[in-house]
Chain A
Amino acid sequence: MSGAIGPHRVLSVAGLTTSFRSNRQWRPVVSDLSFHLDQRETLAIVGESGSGKSMTALSLMGLVTAANGRVEGEAVLNGRDLLKLFEPEMRKVRGNELAMIFQEPMTSLNPVMRIGAQIAESLHYHRGADWGAARIEALRLLDLVRIPDSGRRLDDYPHQFSGGMRQRVMIAMALACRPKLLIADEPTTALDVTVQAEILELMKELQREQGMALLFITHDMGVVAEIADRVLVMWRGNKVEEAPVRELFAAPQANYTRALIGAVPRLGAMRGEANPRRFTVIDPIDGRSVATEAETPPVTDTAPLLEVAQLTTRYPITSGILGQVSARVHAVENVSFSLRRGETLALVGESGCGKSTAGRTILRLIEPTSGVIRFDGQDIARLDQHQLKAIRPKLQMIFQDPYASLDPRQPVGRAITEPMRVHGMATAADAMDRAAAALVKVGLDPAMAQRLPHEFSGGQRQRIAIARALALGPKLIVADEAVSALDVSVKAQILNLMLDLQSEFGLSYLFISHDMAVVERFSHRVAVMYMGEIVEIGPRRAVIGNPQHPYTRRLLDAVPIADPSVRRRMRSRLAGQELPSPIRPPGYTPPERIWRTVDEGHFVQDVA
């Protein structure tokens, strides 16, 4: 356990206030924040977007721009107040005693510099090591972060590494000068769950070996439960609660913390329940319960609304002047499933597994290579443009980024009415009424219809996107990571809304997601995708409660659980494992798959 509190205080922060000037006014983004960190200790700062958690990190690093930013207070690291240091001195501290890892491993490495040189640079600069010695040390660091075949990879460029590997390189760089304090700002947010689990495990182990203090900034309560010793909860620039991790999860004091924890689904909490369950939503200010948990009614229809059979989508990769097909990406390979009215089927898997392509192919936003998509008695894959247009209103989609899915120059009212007008479903006045009704349905004020998308918050935009889909009277909604970009509490509200709409209108959802905990809470059935194929499909209770395919097990095992009392023992897989890519030579025929029936409706692909 890494929680043994060391005798040495590494960092003590008192009265940290960071403000930015806008419109000739100083507005604080972090107000009067105080905390401390000891050797070998991990403090997690948790909060939603705009809570000031990242600003805290940037303030400590001295990276707040002096032009319009101001940092006040005190932050003592090893007896020196970081906030009083001048830039040349601060530069010696940064990367040396104090190091930072950022969220995007893709953008925080210099793309034109070999990684060995990038790591060595810091050693050369701070420790005056000559390049030869620095290079040997860089090699040792790559071994430390468990990069396989480190000797050969030292001279590779960042683009030759996968996301998880790049984050390992970032960690190696941060650890180069054996910092006393490592600040990690959402270091695993951009990574897949299995990779996230590896990186978290690596960071825990490195902390044990090196004895540094870790300031871990995240929005993910699951990750907090996994890694933190103590937790500091931030809300709108203020500290609302600070407590040891077990206490915080067991008995949260502040209303906001209760709201946050109430909104987080815990994988495994739904054991034995067949139907989705609504989320508790607590008002962060007065602590009243705004929505309560409730199980949703079961699905009664038996006839399938959507039947997908042997669906295959491949992209050719061409090369040469003549554009010959040199390989094919088997993005979706022989996928079959069915979906009933009022039912939610979750399509889960990691990035690149083909789940989004499958969803878009069903809507014919991407053309299928072969297969049948039978919806409401018609084969969508064989419809011509005219027939397709007629069926479009019944099949709608909600996208991950609601800002990207709304035309930035179109007022939201028009965004909702335009599809109705195009389909001749309503006259101009009628369409406005229906748009207003749809906005009310998703919990927005119809008076907002004149505004542009950028005037709304992320959660409100997603509500608009739902209203727009809803206004057409759909039967099936493909939700592609529809809540992944939202803050925890907003996520719970949107999921509740979607559940309510489902029971009211009998909607079917194809819920595409990488988040197993949300999937467990939200869906009736689950299909696990791996390298373009479904490897396991069945009732949610069966697939999550009794996973049969090794990949499903690996996926479930990697999900951080928002409960520190079930923190798992060290995992065996520390060394990075790369996800294989589904790129095949042109003549490739996929092997015949054999399916095994586990239980009623629960099928698993036999591993060859």
Chain B
Amino acid sequence: MMAQDIENEPERIPPDNVPSTELEMATFVGIDNELAETGMGPPVGSAPMAAKTEFRIVAKRFFRHKAARAGLIVLALIILLAFSSIGFGPIPGWWKYDYTEFEPTLTDGGAPTLSIFPPAWGDHPFGQSNEGRDYFALTMRGLQQSLIIAFIVGIVSTIVGTVIGAVSGYFRGRIESVLMRFTDVMITIPLLAIAAVIAGQIGGSGIVGLGVLLGLVTWTSLARIVRGEFLSLREKEFVDAARSVGASSRRIIFRHILPNTVGVITVSATLAISGAILLETALSFLNFGVKSPDISLGLLLQQYRQAMDVRPYLFWWPGVFIVLISLSVNFIGDGLRDAFDPRQTRAKA
């Protein structure tokens, strides 16, 4: 967007002489060390100590965030459940059924045997599919596939987006114009539609391929964000200091700027993962993503949509898991954002 570009363009103008007012400093809510910014002398109460690394500070802030903690726990549990219950690859699971086994006649019409009072798992806690497969196993399998794809998409789009965003933000010039025009074009194409077009062809060749392909379609917003960070960071004086000493562009990008963008990239990557889950399940729902005989949560939902009237539980379970994963990842992302950017932290009155 041209209008937005004008807004984002920092100019190289000699800086005005402006010390920050103490009012700003007094309202800066953050870690205690920052109060030492009085400019008068060594920080209060300083003994020779090893510097607290940024990572520990961020981690401490992250775990203070209740929702993020909860999200992390839930996500971990789900991943553990999905991969350990029915096993993955050569490693066997602890659940008695596999997602490929059939029972020719449905027990009790395929209803779930999970009950609250008295608490019991039963034989088929999630019920059975129309062909008599254990629904819990099916759901777990679908979870595995969706999780794997989501993480692959997250990783691919983060890498591609970071590289392109970094290059265009740092070097500017033609590369940047090309990226900006390209992003403008990408905005006009609905993501689901283009993903369907690209992915529809390779549904059979495995979920890794699907993941990579989806990653190659979803990097544009991350690239924009990374570009923005690079644009603002490269104007900082420490970058100039490195340049004046003769540091190569490569060193500046990797050693100076990139470490300062870790926060933004991590948050964006996390949100990319949650977006990926929703994208993949939607694609599979429309039959353009993971295709039979393979399983995905979206595919399950599509297959059992019509059964809502008679056997609604077939529709509930996969959906609930999608929501849980997406929600957890979103909360984690929010927690990370708060952890990396202390200005957002709440001031307790």
Q: Decide if A and B are genuine partners.
A: no
